[in-house]
């Protein structure tokens, strides 16, 4: 696939491999047609098996299914993703390979794939006995487990890069050498030999076949299949068309269109950066005609794309892991995200309104279609999304709800001649569903190393104690200790998220950082949601901000200014999580507590978001001065603390800022010859 966008300086085209440079997942190979069809057939069979597993589960249990699932996906991952690249100066043929239309696996890749299939299937030779040998694995158990470890690290390296494999190796070294640390050190433990470590990885329920892989094999793959079915049935096109038809008659309409389209398209894509780029290729020409400079447009696109994976009804892959860790329903996790989602999009919309005035944007006809006609003709695409929520509301498990949604979307596709899911399109959708989840499977299985070592050594509790002691060493005030710990935790998750995908960064932070927050009185739900938001927000955080880098390539804007614009649009999402971990009433923001409590915290938080929009956008009724902005900074922070005294003070400061701006506006209207007021 190639996506094109017209930029201010000409035409920009991003291929799949170029687009993948901006993702934390690496590009897959371009296989020759015959091999591509074979692998697609295999992936389609895997998708069918996953769908059947929902209603006809294997009698041997979950771990047995996970072994089969990994055996079905790991070899394909090693074939579909590139291994080591030979530098051109060492191999003159490598440059020719890069120029070819296909990039097929070599002999080494095939040998690794066969080895992966063999070691994955090895436990099935006598599965019950294999599990019983956990405390005393045989030499063959250790050998096959060690080989599986190497192959998983290589698959993870191929799909996401070096960072997660290196972190995993550090954890393995800690499990082995931790017994040699001085016993007075907090991180010291009894030490484990190699056999015990491999046994924990392959035979336990906290290693390769632990919660992360279980979530990938039982939930995430079903949603990637559903997303592919939505896409092939024309839902993605409909969502974009509807968004462009919905807003036509105001200078802020193009920005609103981008926001709505990003929200809807995210349910199909599942990737924040991919959503931002898909949206940018279509909407940048319209934004440019409306008068948006490249950098604000790129920041808006990045924020809209990331917002999709922060929002119900799909959220990101880490949301399923939250549900498993907390042992709550996925619908409960969706409930946690409702109010933060409202605040996130309120912040974006306010920033759009302000930017439309600051940049003097104008109306730009985005579509000649009628939104109502589109809804009447293609509105059925929303039905499957509502079905997922509806079934979960009546206690149908999410993995069954999404299968029902797939079947409904399959049937509804026949209402559109152009996108009917007949045999060939359905085959492609099923194949794409499994192919899309391959990097996630490699990440989740490898992340199981970190979970296993943390469980085996007690590292999580030890690190939590160290973090808390570090904060306590600076002050005795419990509130300040919590604030310092939360700030350090946010920084750690952001840094971690710059190097590894969202799912991996969440898992690592959940087992290491969450215990420190819980130890200080934060509930597990609040701690996990805090980590989840910061793991996602790493994609719009300088200095990397992958989503912003990708959109700047489309708009032709400068990279760093685009990053800061994206940060401006997403600022409420950075601060609102602090409200639900630091304040007594913050639980209301996660949909917990009374309805009245949720309503008043939402209203107060909306005022805080409005104050933040004034700070970053520099506009109320006219451009603000430094005085108004200076008043709005403490106003936003005080409002987000959600205590009666701070709320009153925050409202007072915000009111003063608004009054000053209104008075200045009246004076400006009374003096037409006065020049424009700038911030």
DSSP alpha helix (H) spans, 178-311: 194-203, 211-215, 221-232, 235-246, 253-269, 272-290, 294-308
Bridge partners, 603 (sequence order):
none
Residue among 430, 452, 551, 562 at smallest CA distance from 511:
452
Confidence of residue 429 (pLDDT cuts 50, 70, 90): very high
Q: Specify the pLDDT at position 112.
A: 95
DSSP-derived letter for residue 247 is -
Q: Specify the pLDDT at position 366.
A: 56
Domain boundaries in the chain?
585-679
Question: For residue 476, is pLDDT > 60?
Answer: yes
Bridge partners, 196 (sequence order):
none
Question: For residue 254, is pLDDT > 60?
Answer: yes
3-state secondary structure of 84: coil
Least confident of 21-30, 116-125, 289-298: 21-30
Phi-psi bin for 556: left (phi > 0), alpha (psi -120 to 50), beta? left
**pLDDT tens profile 529-540:** 999 888 888 777
**pLDDT tens profile 215-249:** 889 888 988 898 889 889 988 888 878 877 776 66
Question: For residue 571, is pLDDT > 60?
Answer: yes
Q: Specify the pLDDT at position 59.
A: 80
Q: Specify the pLDDT at position 367.
A: 59
**pLDDT tens profile 88-122:** 444 444 444 444 445 789 899 999 999 999 999 99
Q: What is the phi/psi pair of residue 619, to 5°? A: -155, 140
Bridge partners, 505 (sequence order):
none
Contacts of 538 (CB under 8 A, 6+ apart): 493, 494, 496, 497, 498, 502, 505, 544
In angstroms, what is the C-alpha Rg of the chain? Answer: 26
CA dihedral 638→643→648→652, nearest 10 degrees, is 10
- Could you tell me the two tokens for 228? 């592919």
Question: For residue 269, is pLDDT > 80?
Answer: no
**pLDDT tens profile 332-348:** 888 898 899 889 889 88
Residue among 613, 591, 607, 592 at smallest CA distance from 641:
607
Confidence of residue 190 (pLDDT cuts 50, 70, 90): confident
CA dist 272 and 418 (Å) reads 27
Q: Specify the pLDDT at position 605.
A: 93
Least confident of 190-199, 302-311, 521-530, 639-648: 302-311
Q: Specify the pLDDT at position 227.
A: 85
Give the pLDDT mean for 437-445.
Answer: 89
Phi-psi bin for 363: left (phi > 0), alpha (psi -120 to 50), beta? beta
DSSP string, 184-202: TSTT------HHHHHHHHH
Give the pLDDT mean for 272-294.
Answer: 79
**pLDDT tens profile 193-223:** 999 999 999 988 888 998 889 888 988 898 8
Q: Specify the pLDDT at position 574.
A: 84
Give the pLDDT mean for 37-43.
Answer: 95
Q: In whole numbers, what is the pLDDT of the chain averaged over residues?
A: 83
Give the pLDDT mean for 60-86.
Answer: 89
Q: What is the phi/psi pair of residue 487, to 5°? A: -65, -45
3-state secondary structure of 3: strand
Residue 304: other Cβ atoms inside 10 A: 33
Q: Specify the pLDDT at position 242.
A: 83
Question: For residue 586, is pLDDT > 70?
Answer: yes
Phi-psi bin for 10: left (phi > 0), alpha (psi -120 to 50), beta? left
CA dist 42 and 74 (Å) reads 12
Q: Specify the pLDDT at position 636.
A: 93
Question: For residue 671, is pLDDT > 80?
Answer: no
Residue with tokens 């697609």: 40
CA dist 141 and 541 (Å) reads 43
Confidence of residue 45 (pLDDT cuts 50, 70, 90): very high
Q: Specify the pLDDT at position 410.
A: 94
CA dist 74 and 149 (Å) reads 12
**pLDDT tens profile 361-417:** 766 555 567 888 888 889 898 888 888 888 888 888 888 888 999 999 999 999 988
Strands 2-7 and 10-15, how do they pair?
Answer: antiparallel
Phi-psi bin for 396: left (phi > 0), alpha (psi -120 to 50), beta? beta
Q: Specify the pLDDT at position 123.
A: 93
Question: For residue 454, is pLDDT > 90?
Answer: no
- Could you tell me the two tokens for 240? 């974009």
Q: Specify the pLDDT at position 503.
A: 80
Long-range CB pairs of 653-661, under 8 A, 24+ apart, other chains included: 654/607, 654/610, 654/611, 656/631, 657/611, 657/614, 657/620, 657/624, 657/627, 657/628, 657/629, 657/631, 657/632, 658/620, 660/625, 660/627, 660/628, 660/631, 661/620, 661/621, 661/622, 661/624, 661/628
């Amino acid at each position: 696939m190639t996506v094109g966008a017209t930029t201010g300086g000409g035409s920009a085209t991003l291929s799949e491999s170029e687009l993948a440079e901006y993702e934390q997942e690496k590009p897959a190979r371009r296989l020759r047609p015959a091999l591509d069809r074979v692998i697609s057939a295999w992936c389609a069979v895997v998708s069918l098996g996953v769908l059947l597993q929902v209603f006809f589960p294997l009698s041997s249990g979950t771990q047995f299914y996970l072994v089969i699932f990994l055996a079905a996906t790991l070899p394909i991952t090693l074939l579909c993703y590139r291994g080591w690249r030979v530098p051109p100066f060492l191999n003159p043929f490598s440059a020719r390979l890069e120029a070819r239309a296909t990039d097929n696996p070599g002999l080494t890749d095939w040998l690794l794939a066969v080895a992966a299939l063999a070691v994955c299937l090895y436990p099935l030779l006598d599965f019950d006995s294999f599990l019983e040998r956990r405390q005393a694995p045989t030499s063959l158990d250790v050998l096959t487990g060690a080989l599986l470890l190497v192959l998983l690290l290589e698959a993870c390296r191929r799909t996401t890069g070096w960072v997660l494999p290196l972190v995993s190796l550090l954890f393995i070294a800690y499990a082995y050498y931790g017994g040699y640390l001085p016993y007075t050190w907090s991180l010291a433990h009894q030490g484990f030999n190699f056999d015990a470590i491999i046994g924990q990885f392959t035979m336990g329920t906290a290693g390769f076949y632990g919660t992360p892989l279980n979530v990938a094999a039982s939930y995430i793959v079903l949603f990637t299949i559903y997303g592919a079915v939505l896409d092939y049935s024309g839902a993605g096109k409909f969502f974009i068309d509807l968004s462009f038809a919905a807003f036509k008659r105001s200078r802020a309409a193009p920005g609103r269109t981008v926001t709505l389209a990003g929200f809807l398209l995210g349910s199909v894509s599942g990737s924040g950066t991919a959503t931002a780029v898909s949206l940018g290729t279509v909407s940048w020409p319209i934004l440019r005609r409306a008068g948006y400079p490249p950098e604000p447009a790129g920041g808006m696109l990045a924020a809209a794309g990331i917002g999709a994976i922060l929002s119900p009804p799909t959220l990101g892959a880490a949301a399923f892991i939250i549900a498993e860790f907390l042992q709550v329903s996925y619908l409960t996790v969706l409930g946690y995200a409702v109010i933060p989602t409202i605040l996130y999009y309120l912040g974006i919309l306010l920033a759009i309104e302000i930017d439309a005035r600051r940049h003097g944007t104008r109306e730009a006809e985005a579509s000649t279609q009628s939104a109502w006609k589109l809804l009447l003709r293609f509105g059925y695409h929303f039905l499957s999304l509502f079905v997922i929520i509806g079934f979960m509301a009546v206690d149908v498990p999410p993995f069954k709800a999404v299968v029902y949604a797939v079947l409904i979307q399959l049937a509804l596709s026949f209402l559109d001649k152009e996108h009917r899911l007949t045999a060939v399109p359905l085959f492609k959708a099923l194949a794409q569903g499994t192919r899309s989840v391959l990097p996630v499977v490699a990440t989740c299985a490898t992340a199981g190393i970190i979970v296993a070592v943390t469980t085996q050594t007690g590292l999580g509790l030890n690190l939590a104690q160290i973090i808390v002691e570090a904060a306590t060493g600076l002050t005795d005030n419990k509130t300040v200790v919590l604030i310092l710990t939360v700030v350090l935790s946010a920084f750690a998750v952001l840094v971690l998220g710059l190097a590894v995908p969202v799912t991996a960064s969440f898992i690592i932070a959940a087992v290491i950082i969450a215990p420190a927050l819980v130890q200080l009185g934060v509930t597990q739900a609040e701690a996990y949601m805090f980590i989840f938001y910061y793991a996602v927000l790493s994609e719009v955080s300088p200095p990397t901000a992958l989503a912003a880098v990708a959109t700047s390539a489309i708009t032709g804007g400068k990279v760093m200014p685009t990053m800061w614009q994206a940060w401006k649009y997403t600022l409420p999402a950075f601060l609102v999580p602090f409200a639900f971990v630091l304040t007594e009433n913050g639980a209301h923001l996660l949909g917990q507590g009374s309805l009245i409590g949720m309503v008043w915290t939402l209203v107060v938080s909306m005022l805080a978001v409005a104050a933040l929009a004034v700070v970053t956008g520099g506009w109320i009724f006219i451009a603000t001065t430094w005085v108004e902005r200076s008043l709005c900074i403490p106003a936003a922070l005080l409002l987000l603390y959600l205590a009666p005294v701070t709320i009153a003070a925050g409202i007072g400061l915000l009111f003063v800022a608004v009054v000053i701006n209104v008075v200045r506006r009246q004076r400006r209207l009374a003096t037409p010859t006065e020049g424009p007021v700038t911030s």
